[in-house]
Amino acid sequence: MTVSAVNSANETNYTAAANEALRETNSELGKDAFLKILIAQLSNQDPLDPLKDKDFIAQMAQFSTLEQMTNMNKSIEQMNAITKGSAVNYIGRVVEYLDDEGLSTYGTVAYVRFDTSGVILTTTEEIDIPLEKVVAVG
């Protein structure tokens, strides 16, 4: 019966550590929260049933994936900022782009707009051109 008491105490400590990590990250699990949960889990595990090697390796792989995704997200945000900054240079320039039929068309960029679909160049003729359709800049 003492084993079940140890298990319930370990579960309580583990749950408390997990809840603390969740509160600290404001509903967004980051690598620090993941490490806190992992450390709490390892320090409060049942000595009669320790964490299996494959479970530990799987959790470390999840941590590695989480860290790489976080780094990739930061890189994408930096690339978006660079794209927005460089798109402003198109104002007043003639661009060649592919229209809806796939034909090359030319237009002078009047202004640049940023929306959820990406960078939109608007010509003096009020034609919206997604940046990815631009093939040349004059």
Distance, in Å, from the CA atom of 103 to the CA atom of 106, rounded to the nearest integer, reads 10
What mean pLDDT comes out for the span 98-123?
Answer: 91
Looking at the chain, which residues constitute the CATH 2.30.30.30 domain(s)?
A: 89-137
Q: What percent of the chain has pLDDT over 70?
A: 71
C-alpha distances out from residue 22 to 8, 35, 43, 129, Å: 21, 12, 18, 43
The pLDDT, as a whole number, for residue 126 is: 93
Give me the CATH code for the 89-137 domain, please: 2.30.30.30
Query: Rounded to 5 degrees, what angle do the CA atoms 60, 35, 76 make?
Result: 75
| Predicted pLDDT of residue 111 | 93
